[in-house]
């Protein structure tokens, strides 16, 4: 049976590559973008329907969910990396903290909450939260405070959602996609977005109610919470 997969932040980077690969293997892909005018590559992919929403807007998320039927896999991929420096980074403003925390943390929560009724209609629904090794308790080299804190919170959300949603039959995992050559990861990163997307989709396939609550990377290596 055809699976329906929804990916947020899919107009570029890892989200775009997950959309491409999920559609190529036969999923019905719903791919969300903030600005459909800047999503021509995504919109041209066969099997992909483009949805327009910002993950920080619960009303628009609710409207999108009301038009979505059964959902097998929800991938919370949209994310922002700002204030990459140390304490003195001028990007440490209330506005930038607000924007990153709203997207990386509240955006995950709002997206999951909006699409729960759709997930509940699928036979074996799953939620994947794209976190980062920068959230891992094993890695605290200093700097990038805002991003690290936001992804640590996103991982924590995933872990607690896994507990609450297990009885509803919904499995939840948090994932590090690798250090990936995208606008966010930069050109010196380790792997391309295709390799990351392929690995992540395989990890989501492996996710089950037995493994719900995992935090692992795109190769399946466990991450420390
Ligand atoms: N690249 C890496 O090395 C790396 C490593 C660890 C984790 N990650 C995580 O992997 C995910 C994808 O990263 P990427 O490298 O593909 O980043 P990217 O190229 O910067 O793309 C980020 C995507 O998120 C979308 N987005 C940002 N804020 C949004 C909002 N409020 N509502 C909806 N969409 C929003 C962007 O849309 P616009 O085009 O409209 O801005 C874009 O589609 C992120 O969660 C990131 O934190 C990446």
pLDDT tens, 152-163? 999 999 999 999
Tell me how far the alpha carbon of residue 124 lies from the centroid of ligand 1, in angstroms: 27
Q: Which ligand 1 atom minimizes the distance to the CA of 104?
A: 45
Instruction: Name the residue at shortest CA distance from atom 17 of ligand 1.
Output: 184
> Is 0.95 surpassed by the pTM of this model?
yes
- With a 6 Å cutoff on the Cβ, whether 61 touches ligand 1 is no
Tell me how far the alpha carbon of residue 79 lies from the centroid of ligand 1, in angstroms: 4
Mean pLDDT, rounded, of the chain: 97
Confidence of residue 29 (pLDDT cuts 50, 70, 90): very high
Confidence of residue 225 (pLDDT cuts 50, 70, 90): confident
Residue range 4-217 forms a domain whose CATH class is alpha beta
Instruction: Name the residue at shortest CA distance from atom 38 of ligand 1.
Output: 34
Q: Which ligand 1 atom minimizes the distance to the CA of 102?
A: 31
Instruction: Name the residue at shortest CA distance from atom 46 of ligand 1.
Output: 79
Domain ranges, ordered by start, for the chain: 4-217
- With a 6 Å cutoff on the Cβ, whether 120 touches ligand 1 is no
C-alpha 48/C-alpha 148 separation (Å) is: 32
Give yes or no for residue 1 having a pLDDT over 80.
Answer: yes
Question: What average pLDDT does range 211-221 have in this prediction?
Answer: 98
- The whole-number pLDDT of residue 140 equals 87
Give yes or no for residue 137 having a pLDDT over 80.
Answer: no
Q: Which ligand 1 atom minimizes the distance to the CA of 81?
A: 47
DSSP string, the chain: ---EEEESS-SSHHHHHHHHHHHHTT-EEEEEES-GGG-HHHHTSTTEEEEE--TT-HHHHHHHHHT----SEEEE--------S-TT-TT--HHHHHHHHIIIIIHHHHHHHHHHHHHTTSSS-EEEEE--GGG-TT---S--HHHHHHHHHHHHHHHHHHHHHHTTT-EEEEEE--SB-STTT-TT-SB-HHHHHHHHHHHHHH--TTTTT-EEETTS-B---
């Amino acid at each position: 049976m055809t699976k329906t997969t929804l990916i947020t932040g899919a107009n570029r980077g890892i989200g775009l590559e997950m959309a491409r690969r999920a559609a190529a293997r036969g999923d019905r892909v719903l791919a969300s973008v903030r600005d459909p005018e800047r999503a021509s590559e995504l919109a041209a992919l066969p099997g992909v329907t483009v949805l327009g929403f910002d993950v920080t807007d619960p009303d628009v998320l609710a409207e999108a969910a009301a038009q979505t039927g059964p959902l097998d896999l929800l991938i919370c991929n949209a994310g922002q990396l700002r204030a990459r420096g140390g304490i003195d980074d001028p990007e440490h403003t209330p506005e930038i903290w607000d924007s990153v925390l709203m997207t990386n943390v509240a955006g995950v929560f709002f997206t999951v909450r909006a699409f729960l009724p759709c997930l509940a209609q699928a036979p074996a629904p799953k939620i994947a939260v794209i976190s980062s090794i920068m959230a891992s308790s094993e890695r605290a080299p200093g700097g990038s405070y805002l991003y690290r804190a936001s992804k640590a919170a996103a991982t924590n959300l995933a872990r607690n959602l896994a507990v609450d949603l297990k009885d509803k039959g919904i499995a939840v995992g948090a994932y590090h996609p690798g250090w990936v050559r995208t606008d966010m990861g930069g050109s010196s990163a380790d792997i391309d977005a295709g390799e990351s997307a392929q690995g992540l989709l395989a990890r989501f396939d492996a996710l089950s109610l037995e493994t719900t609550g995992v935090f692992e990377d795109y190769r399946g290596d466990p991450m420390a919470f």
